[in-house]
């Protein structure tokens, strides 16, 4: 990998000598939107319609769909107007379209949203159920949509917020569990749950038993990642715990996010403002706090996207700039490619 070393003055954000990573276009900027790559393809929007490109940037599925999701488990949910179904990578219809729409498969299940037949019905009158990969409706669309549900199976369970249980398994059977007032999705065998008698959060296992007591003011919504989870003892006092509930690193932060590729964004107060940097799995601050909220993303394939001024670039795990800020927006590196917006259009780049 060729690197051009550029010596720049130290900035107020703490960026020292910058190691520029070579990069090149794999898809030149030409699309209205591009999704992250998944299973070898990325959805692209052209003239208001969606199709798919391969890693070389070639349009391999024509842009004819009104909506298109990423490929997952070999299939992608697509819409033609008010009907939705699934295609494979050859653009063959695998699950025929029906009125309504779908999300991607997870754990062999995909959510189906069934619109109400009532005239002028509210969106909240839409119900949802789940199909398997043959298109069979394995969980009937009887539940009404809710803003607190992700409609995705994680580790065999989906959050549904029913009166009898907050989770169902892949066959629709409610999980027998401790009485709680709220819950988040399962991750690494645990789900954050809120006490039925108060605002505190703890963690429950897949058997429905609370194994980490209710003692947290707030928890990171993504749950445990790489064996650790960010939790708040009180407002602006965040730390990390392991899967046994043991505090890690011996320090707290103004805010803390989930780990990705061994790195996690944490906030400290610097000069009277909250700025984010990154720690490693040992709790060492490897990238000094310098990013404002929403001016960075999680690490993907060794790089973190960051925003300086109005432009986005990429930094490595040492805190050195790998790709100079020059893009109007960016996605994440997946399968060696990253969508970027340049001069009003979206394309995709790769690292050399």
Instruction: Tell me the average pLDDT across 214-241.
Output: 97
Cα distance between residue 320 and residue 288, in whole Å: 11
Question: What does the pLDDT look like over 141-198, one tens digit per residue?
Answer: 999 999 889 999 999 999 998 888 899 999 999 999 999 999 999 999 999 999 999 8
Question: What does the pLDDT look like over 304-321, one tens digit per residue?
Answer: 999 999 999 999 999 999
Asked if 61 and 92 touch (Cβ cutoff 8 Å), the reply is no
Provide the percentage of residues in the chain whose pLDDT is more than 90: 90
- As a residue count, the chain comes to 352
Asked if 143 and 162 touch (Cβ cutoff 8 Å), the reply is yes
Both tokens of residue 298?
């999680």
Residue 6 has pLDDT above 70, yes or no: no
| Residue-by-residue DSSP string for 62-98 | EEEESEEPPPBTTBEEEEETTEEEEE-TT--EEEEEE
- The per-residue pLDDT of the chain, averaged, comes to 93
Beta bridge partners of 218: 232
Domains of the chain, each with CATH number or no CATH: 3-351 (2.130.10)
Both tokens of residue 308?
């300086």
First to last CA, the chain: 6
Residue 17 has pLDDT above 50, yes or no: no
What is the structure's pLDDT at 11? Answer: 30
* 15 CB-near residues (< 8 Å, 6+ apart): 8, 290, 319, 321
Higher-confidence residue: 29 or 22? Answer: 29
Question: What does the pLDDT look like over 38-70, one tens digit per residue?
Answer: 999 999 999 999 999 999 999 999 999 999 999
What is the structure's pLDDT at 161? Answer: 86
């Amino acid at each position: 990998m060729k690197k051009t070393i550029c010596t720049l003055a130290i900035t107020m954000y703490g960026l020292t000598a910058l190691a520029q990573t070579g990069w090149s276009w794999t898809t030149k900027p030409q699309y209205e939107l591009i999704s992250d790559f998944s299973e070898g393809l990325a959805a692209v929007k052209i003239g208001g319609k969606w199709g798919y490109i391969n890693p070389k940037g070639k349009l391999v599925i024509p842009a004819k769909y009104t909506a298109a999701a990423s490929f997952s488990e070999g299939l992608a949910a697509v819409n033609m107007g008010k009907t939705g179904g699934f295609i494979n990578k050859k653009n063959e219809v695998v699950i025929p379209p029906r009125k309504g729409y779908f999300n991607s498969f997870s754990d062999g299940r995909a959510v189906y949203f069934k619109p109400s037949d009532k005239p002028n019905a509210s969106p909240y009158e839409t119900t949802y159920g789940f199909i398997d990969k043959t298109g069979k409706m394995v969980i009937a669309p009887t539940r009404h949509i809710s803003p607190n549900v992700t409609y995705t199976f994680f580790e065999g369970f989906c959050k549904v917020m029913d009166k009898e249980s907050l989770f169902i398994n892949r066959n629709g059977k409610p999980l027998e569990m401790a009485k709680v007032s709220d819950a988040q999705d399962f991750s690494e065998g645990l789900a954050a749950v809120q006490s039925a008698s108060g605002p505190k959060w703890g963690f429950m296992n897949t058997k429905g038993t609370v194994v980490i007591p209710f003692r947290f003011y707030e928890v990171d919504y993504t749950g445990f990642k790489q064996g650790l989870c960010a939790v708040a003892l009180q407002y602006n006092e965040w730390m990390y715990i392991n899967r046994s509930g043991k505090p890690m690193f011996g320090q707290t932060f103004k805010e803390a996010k989930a780990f990705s590729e061994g790195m996690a964004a944490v906030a400290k107060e610097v000069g009277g403002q909250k700025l984010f940097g990154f720690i490693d799995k040992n709790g060492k601050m490897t990238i000094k706090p310098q990013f404002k909220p929403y001016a960075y993303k999680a690490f993907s394939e060794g790089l973190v996207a960051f925003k300086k001024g109005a432009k986005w670039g990429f930094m490595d795990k040492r805190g050195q700039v790998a790709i100079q800020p020059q893009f109007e927006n960016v996605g994440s590196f997946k399968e060696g490619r990253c969508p970027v917006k340049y001069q009003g259009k979206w394309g995709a780049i790769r690292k050399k």
